[in-house]
């Protein structure tokens, strides 16, 4: 084997390793040797891909293969995969275009001054023909420091690995990514090199305008990475604030309950004396009135997960103010293995939507049924509530089922339609169900919405491992 080819192969392996691990700071690569090998292979191909201005085949083929590999090997939502894939493809291919179109011209300039006696018009390929091995090694050698600085920069400035962004934010980032990627595509597809070379000291070189545009496309990665980091921190801060507010209300309710218990304990002797002196009929009424005290009726421990307890305590208190009954059946014996803010968002958004629907009904029809289990490696949540003219309010057709489905289903639909919010301010509302869907998919679960005989039903499941 040619020693130069072996050196090129080793250099590209190092560059591919750095690129793949840089990507892992922004998007998770699925477990499994095959998927990781597939991702490593496409990073190797992308790092060594030759991109010439005026040659559209290489850039289109490599971009398509890279995006397909992202969809197969990485985890996350559709728009996250598209955005991250486009960001890396745009940056790496922009550098390749810069390397392949200007490095050879730089070598030609060196050759021109080194051998001025040679009467050869340098056209960007002369040095490659005269010194093919030297040109080959120098070309791939430039990819190594680029990959190294890309890895170091992402490692230092990337958001936390457990960061989350909504689909709307990923769509916005994709639009920002489309600009630098469009620059590279425009240069490589629309510009024919024969008509845009500049003849400079007996050397054909690419115009300086192309160089500036490629540099802009590469440097735009920095701003996109910064946008992801800032948006991720902001969204995490908002989730933490929501969780802190839920906890604050939970502990306020717990303190109130403890106060009631202390007061009842203090008055217990008086209550016993009164009960011993009352006739039987009045005694029963007195006992019924006594047991209706919030210290007896309010439960702060629905299950073994403190976050679920906090959310349900706050939401039940809210429902009582609106005259809504909540019937719950919860079987969660231990703490759920999910992020606290995600658990809070799942229960809070599902119950908020149910409360909003119940507020349109007469008070005697306001009831919300909540079932939740964590058994046999599966977490399930189901929230049901009656609705008023459901199809007319949402203006969307929901999947219908003639029979009420069981709590744990064998077949769950992954496709559904998100009903629109009924609030007047639609621009700032209606994200609850979309947020639930995003969380369920992030944990490899699924969400199903159904309407049956005037009952709207939300069901989701998430694997516990």
Q: At what angle do helices 340-358 and 432-442 cross, to 10 degrees?
A: 150
Per-residue confidence (pLDDT) for residue 72, from 0 to 100: 93
Residue matched to tokens 């005037």: 454
Instruction: Report which of residues 283 and 44 the model is more confident about.
Output: 44
Q: How much is the pLDDT for 297? A: 52
**Taking the alpha carbons of 90, 156, 148, 74 in that order, is the dihedral positive or negative?**
negative
DSSP 29: B
Q: What is the mean pLDDT of the segment spanning 390-407?
A: 38
What is the average per-residue pLDDT within 132-144? 71
8 A C-beta contact, residue 66 and residue 199: no
Residue 432 has pLDDT above 90, yes or no: no
Give the mean pLDDT of 130-137. Answer: 58
pLDDT for res 394: 40
Query: Can you tell me which residue has the tokens 């490629």?
Result: 214
In the block, tokens 């998919």 appear at 441
pLDDT for res 31: 85
Q: How far apart are CA 253 and CA 313, in angstroms?
A: 8
Higher pLDDT, 413 or 356: 356
Q: How far apart are CA 336 and CA 292, in angstroms?
A: 32
pLDDT given at position 298: 54
Percent of the chain residues past pLDDT 90, beyond the cut: 31
- How many Å apart are CA 84 and CA 21, to the nearest integer? 13
pLDDT at 112: 58
What is the structure's pLDDT at 312? 86
Q: What is the predicted pLDDT for the residue at 391?
A: 46
Per-residue model confidence as pLDDT tens digits over 338-360: 888 788 889 988 998 899 989 88
Question: Which residues are CB-neighbours of 444 under 8 A, at least 6 positions away?
Answer: 75, 462, 463
Cβ atoms of 264 and 295 within 8 Å: the answer is yes
pLDDT of the residue at 299: 56
Q: Is the pLDDT of residue 403 over 50?
A: no
What is the C-alpha to C-alpha distance for residues 299 and 297, in angstroms, rounded to an integer? 6
Mean pLDDT on 356-372:
90
Which pLDDT belongs to residue 387?
86
Of the listed ranges 67-81, 104-118, 290-304, the least confidently predicted one is 104-118
pLDDT tens profile 196-224: 555 555 555 667 788 888 899 999 999 99
Dist. CA 242–CA 65, nearest whole Å:
41
Confidence of residue 313 (pLDDT cuts 50, 70, 90): confident
Q: Which of 286, 285, 310, 295 is nearest to 264 (CA)?
A: 295
Q: What is the pLDDT of residues 54-74, one digit of tens each?
A: 888 889 999 999 999 999 999
The least confident of 20-34, 298-312, 381-395 is: 381-395
> CA-to-CA distance for 226 and 232, rounded, in angstroms?
10
Neighbours of 78 (CB within 10 A): 11
Inform me whether the pLDDT recorded for 415 exceeds 50: no
Residue 150 has pLDDT above 90, yes or no: yes
pLDDT tens-digit profile of 298-310? Answer: 556 788 888 888 8
| Mean of per-residue pLDDT scores for the chain | 77
> For 216-274, what is each residue's pLDDT tens digit?
999 999 999 999 999 988 888 887 787 777 767 766 766 666 566 666 666 666 666 67
pLDDT tier for residue 147 given thresholds of 50, 70 and 90: very high
Give the 3-state secondary structure of residue 438. helix
Give the residue, 349 or 7, on which the prediction is more confident.
349
Position 362 pLDDT exceeds 50: yes
Percent with pLDDT over 70 in the chain: 70
β-sheet bridge partners, residue 198 = 205
pLDDT of residue 104: 66
pLDDT at 10 over 70: yes
Helix segments in 24-77, DSSP class H: 33-48, 56-73
Closest-CA residue to 356 (of 400, 421, 298, 419): 421
């Amino acid at each position: 084997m040619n020693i130069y080819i072996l050196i090129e192969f080793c250099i590209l392996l190092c560059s591919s390793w750095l690129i793949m691990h840089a990507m892992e700071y922004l998007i998770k690569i699925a477990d499994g040797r095959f998927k990781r090998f597939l991702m490593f292979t496409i990073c190797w191909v992308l790092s060594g891909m030759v991109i010439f201005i005026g040659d559209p085949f290489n850039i289109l083929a490599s971009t398509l293969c890279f995006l397909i590999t992202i969809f197969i090997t990485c985890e996350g939502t559709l728009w996250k995969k598209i955005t991250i894939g486009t960001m890396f493809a745009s940056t790496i291919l922009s550098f390749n275009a810069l390397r392949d179109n200007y490095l050879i011209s730089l070598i030609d300039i060196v050759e021109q001054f080194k051998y001025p006696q040679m009467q050869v018009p340098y056209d960007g390929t002369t040095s490659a023909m005269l010194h093919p091995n030297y040109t080959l090694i120098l070309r791939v050698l430039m990819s190594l420091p680029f990959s190294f600085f890309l890895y170091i920069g992402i490692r230092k400035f990337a958001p936390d690995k457990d960061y989350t962004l909504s689909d709307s934010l990923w769509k916005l980032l994709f639009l920002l990514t489309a600009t630098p990627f469009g620059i590279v595509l425009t240069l490589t597809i629309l510009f024919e090199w024969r008509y845009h070379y500049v003849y400079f000291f007996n050397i054909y070189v690419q115009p300086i305008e192309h160089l500036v545009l490629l540099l802009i496309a590469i440097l735009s990665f920095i701003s996109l990475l910064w946008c992801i980091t800032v948006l991720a921190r902001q969204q995490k801060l908002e989730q933490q604030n929501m969780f802190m507010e839920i906890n604050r209300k939970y502990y306020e309710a717990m303190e109130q309950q403890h106060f009631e218990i202390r007061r009842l304990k203090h008055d217990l002797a008086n209550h016993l004396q009164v009960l011993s002196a009352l006739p039987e009929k009045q005694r029963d009424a007195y006992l019924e009135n006594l047991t209706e005290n919030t210290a007896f009726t309010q439960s702060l421990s629905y299950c073994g997960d403190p976050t679920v307890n906090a959310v349900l305590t706050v939401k039940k208190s809210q429902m009582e103010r609106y005259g809504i009954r909540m019937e719950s059946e919860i079987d969660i014996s231990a703490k759920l293995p999910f992020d606290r803010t995600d658990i809070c968002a799942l229960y809070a958004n599902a119950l908020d939507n149910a409360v909003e629907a119940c507020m349109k009904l007469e008070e005697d029809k306001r009831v919300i049924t909540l079932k939740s289990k964590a058994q046999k490696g599966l977490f399930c949540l189901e929230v049901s509530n009656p609705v008023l003219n459901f199809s007319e309010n949402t203006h969307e057709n929901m999947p219908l089922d003639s029979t009420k489905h069981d709590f744990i289903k064998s077949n769950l639909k992954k496709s559904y339609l998100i009903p629109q919010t009924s609030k007047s301010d639609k621009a700032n509302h209606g994200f609850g169900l979309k947020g639930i869907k995003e969380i369920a998919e992030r944990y490899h679960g699924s969400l199903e919405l159904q309407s049956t005989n005037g009952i709207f039903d939300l069901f989701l499941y998430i694997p516990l491992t």
